[in-house]
Chains A and B, each alone.
Chain A
Amino acid sequence: MTKLLLLAHECVCFSRNLTGKEIRNLVKNETKLSVRRLDNFTLISLNAVYRLLLKHPTSQTLALYSGAEYLSVELFQSVIKAMHEQKAIRPFDFIATVGNAANFYLAKEFNIKGPNIFIGATKNIFLKNILLAESDLNLGHSQQAIVVVWLITEDEWLCHAFLIEQVDIENLAIKGKLFQPKNLESVCIDDLLQNSLDIVFPVLLNTHFA
């Protein structure tokens, strides 16, 4: 019997009081990645996945699944406003509004060659993403998956990055994945996202849905 195993998690948080330029500089200083002309939505995800893979390097083939309640808020709101004011849209601004633009940059920077999906979701964002990941892992489309979840509030930009893989729970000892007894119960990350993700890794994930 296979289950999904959450191997690692990282989170990046920026105040929405920061300007785009300030966020760009913070991300550039930490990651040394090329961040020119990228929007906040993309920048924060690059930072989160950078931290994830820096602390938990992997040589496995990766897929990427990501989701957000809102698209890149500042970018979309500025271009919609420009449209309403009959202003011309600049080509680069339009290209940046592509729904999966952040996923493209993540794939390029972190060599993610497998499936690459961005979904819109208000509830159960993590669950939806891991269901897509599970479906592809079952088909052997990748060996591990990165899940990215953006949470945008009135005050903050938050981006969570997770590393997951599929395991045969009957062969966990063989694979050297030792569990604390409490971790044998799978967890629902969506319930934890609103608070702190105070969990011991690795942990089995709950993929049950109604």
Chain B
Amino acid sequence: MSKTNDKISEKVFVVATSSITALGEQNDLISPEMFCAKTVETPVEEHAVPYYSIKDTQLNKSFSLMTELLVQQVNELLIKSGLNEQQLKNTMLFLGSTSLDIGCISPNNDKSIWLSQTDKLGQYLVDYFSLRSLHFTFNTACTASANALIYASNFIKQQKIENAIVIGCEFFNQLSLNGFDSLDLISSIGVKPFARSRDGLILGEGVGAVLLSKYAGEHTQFEILGGYSSCDDHSLTITEEEGTHIIAVINKTLENSSIDKSDIDLIKVHGTASVKSDLAEASALNQFFLDIPNVIALKSLIGHTLGACGVIELALMEQCTKFAILPRFPYQEVEEEKLELPFVKSVDLLTSSKIMLFNHFGFGGNNAALIIKRV
């Protein structure tokens, strides 16, 4: 990434992305066959609950395995972007996660506080890569890394920083699995966002990383135009079903991006496939758009990666755009399956999309949206 030849502005570019999920390493995903949604995942060990685990890794992860996966993805960014040591020192880290390192914490009766510090993962990465010492760890449920993207973008636009590494990470843990199971939110038939037959979500784990910069790189695909998030105080677990708050967030996002809703030609929906969450999103989109643009939902590929989904799904969308891949969603091909939103049906429609809306909604009432422009 060179300063001299690239456009200098208050724009924010997605210079490089990387991810590892149930699909495997993002770099290996270069054909539609590799981007194919599964129906029902293998149940988690000792549980009858399905789960999308990171391909080729053990389910229960130690802190060192978590950080190894994080370091691998950041290294991928550095290879792709060519960020040098001096630039790294000025690069700010924004990490978003729901469960952080909870999966590897064990009780310790000798201590009054044995919980990890909330920014332990972020601090590890800052020390390992000698990043700027001030760093952020967002913990706003399923919007955590979407919020990390929004604030990192705004910091660049407002000239507080030039480069940001934004991470979304979620690792398997019993608390999330048992908690969602206790709320009867887990599907037994597979993740089918916006299908009338949907019956719930399946959790997943993964690490996503993106490098944002005010300078576009040689292979830059995306520019972040703007975003917004705020809290819907209707309920701690579900956004208001009429979609009123979602509409307010999308409106503010468009305003921040200087975009009219008629400019949007693709929506990356949140689409968890839980009955009520999809209902709220579909209600909002149906009210907001006279003619709903094509949509794409990625959680049937990787599960719901909770706080990591903001970054992971942006990274996967960049990969699809770069290699002109339309992922396969077998449930959408079943003729009798009734779908509540118009899903994108051809790779041409996907790759010709210029202005994309990315939706992310979460527990705690936190709703977020971003506008991404194809460069």
Contacts and interface: CB of A to CB of B under 8 A. Distances in A.
Interface of A: 16, 63-64, 68-71, 73, 76-77, 79-81, 83-84, 88-91, 94-95, 97-101, 103-104, 107-108, 112-122, 124, 127-128, 131-132, 135-136, 138-139, 141, 152, 154, 209-210
B123 A94 contact: no
Interface stretch (B132-140, B261-269, B309-317): B132-140
A99 B97 CA distance: 9
Contacts, number: 161
Interface stretch (B67-75, B151-159, B203-211, B330-338): B151-159
Interface stretch (B8-16, B51-59, B77-85, B223-231): B223-231
B163 interface: no
B229 A122 contact: no
B99 to A, nearest CB: 9
A31 to B, nearest CB: 17
A124 B132 CA distance: 13
A94 B123 CA distance: 26
A84 B229 CA distance: 35
A141 B231 contact: no
Contacts of B98: 98-99
Measured as residues with beta carbon below 8 angstroms from the partner, the interface class of chain B is 35 or more
Contact of B158 (A76, A101, A135): A135
A73 B113 contact: yes
16 contacts: A16-B112, A68-B118, A77-B113, A77-B114, A89-B182, A97-B179, A98-B141, A98-B363, A99-B98, A100-B231, A103-B140, A104-B231, A115-B228, A120-B117, A131-B160, A141-B228
A84 B106 contact: yes
A132 B228 CA distance: 12
B113 A89 contact: no
Interface in B132-181: 132-134, 136-141, 144, 147, 151, 154-155, 158, 160, 174-175, 178-180
B364 interface: yes
